[in-house]
Amino acid sequence: MGDDEERRRLRGEVDGLRDEVAGLRERAAERRRAPRAPGRPRAPQRSLTPPRPLARRRLLAAAVVAGGTATALLALGDSDGSADPGGPADPGAPSRDAPGARPETPPPPRGFPERPTLRALGPLPGHGNRLAGLWFSPAARTLAVSEADTGRLRLWDVATRQPLGEPLTSAHVAFLTVAFNGDGTALATGGGDRAELWRVPSLEAVGEPLTRREHAVDAFEAVAFSPDGTVLAAGGPAVTHGQDIAEVRLYDVASRAPLGPPLTGHGGGVERLAFSPDGAALAVGGSFEGDGVVRVWDVAARTPVGERLTGHQGGVGELAFSPDGAALAVSAFVGDGVVRFWDTTNGRQRGEPLIAHSGGVRAMAYSGDGTGLVTLGTRGDRGLRFWDTETHQERSRPIAVEHYFNASALSADGLTLATHEDETVRLWRIEQGE
């Protein structure tokens, strides 16, 4: 097949996909325009919604008792029962056919290309100059962007580079942290004295917020879902009797109830949280007297695994579990650009650290098959570098990232990159070069 014929074939497939997406969006718009059931008025603006009634929480809890997961929870309607599976569809609910509404399926695990190159996918404009962060859903179908100045959260379809619905604006505090559940159908936001759960892509609230107004300040600076979506970890500095302590609490997603006592002993703050792939361990990263400290916890026993993991200059930058959960990679936020690898069973360092960049590490991710690690440097060294996770040696040439960026994120498999500069988020794909 000639090059021209191949290009025409691919162009035809792209046009067909665009038409299909347009049709799906039109059907979703028709559902939104349909008359709503009595007593179910649409909210006049996209802002933080009031807590859901107690009856809805009981429905959510019943779903978990029956063996449901977070996906099942989010499929439930409001407490009046109008979303009965046998009844009519709720006009205000997200369309199951809308882009991003279906549960995500992780791609088959694979390694990094032997000769990686960076292909620009396109810009996502209009995001201001200060972001709280960028977060990919597990299969990189959706990108969440939180703006620090406006308190606005927006979702984007990565494939089409189109916004998913209207943005969500916080009336209380900027969304400082975002975590998607395991299949990308829900996300949790954290900031200040609350964490909240939302459907994807509609950004409709699910249940009541988690709050600790009577006890804590900035207790939700970091959040993370367990892989099965039934547990939410939240952490940050807490204030108790005038003393600053740092703790992590685990919450049942359905009931919003704390699961056991808090996990404490994290020095000056909790800045990063990451569950292991099987959900058995939770890594907590923060800072203590200028030295980034990580503690790995046995989730079931609520006990630390091994000693504290130290030596991450200027605080912990990023945490990444290997796909098999046997290793934890930890980068320094600033300074020497060191990444250390730790054994998650005993807390011992695995091999020599690698000097990833001349400055700090902005983002990092394991390859899907666990054989490689990709790191992204900060201002002084903004390239992508690829490492062998066994030898800790660089496995291919680094890739320069052309644009200066204020925020960035790598997808779970390390193959999709988002960067931010001059009010524009840019998407990139790591592919095999010639």
Mean per-residue pLDDT pooled into runs of 10, the chain (434 residues): 48 43 40 38 36 31 34 35 32 40 85 95 90 95 93 95 92 84 95 90 92 67 94 79 74 93 81 94 77 88 90 82 96 80 92 84 94 87 90 92 82 96 93 90
> Rounded distance, CA 356 to CA 392, Å?
10
What is the CATH classification number for the domain harbouring 151? 2.130.10.10
The answer to whether residue 49 is domain-embedded is no
The pTM assigned to this predicted structure is 0.76
Domain span at residue 265 reads: 116-432
- For residues 201-223, one letter each, b for 16 or more C-beta atoms within 10 angstroms of the residue's C-beta and e for the rest, the string is bbbbbbbbbbbbeeebebbbbbb
Q: Which of 410, 404, 399, 397 is nearest to 378 (CA)?
A: 404
Residue 96 belongs to a domain? no
Q: Tokens 């395991």 appear where?
A: 182
Identify whether 275 is part of a domain: yes
- In this prediction, residue 150 carries a pLDDT of 87
Domain-embedded: residue 388: yes
Structural domains in the chain (count): 1
Residues 378/334, Cβ–Cβ less than 8 Å: yes
Cα–Cα distance measured from residue 368 to residue 414, given in angstroms and rounded to the nearest whole number: 8
101 domain residue, yes or no: no
Residue 71 placed within a domain: no
What is the spatial distance between Cα 324 and Cα 309, in angstroms, rounded to a whole number?
A: 20
User: Is 30 inside any structural domain?
Assistant: no
Residue 98 lies in a domain: no
Q: What is the pLDDT of residue 431?
A: 96
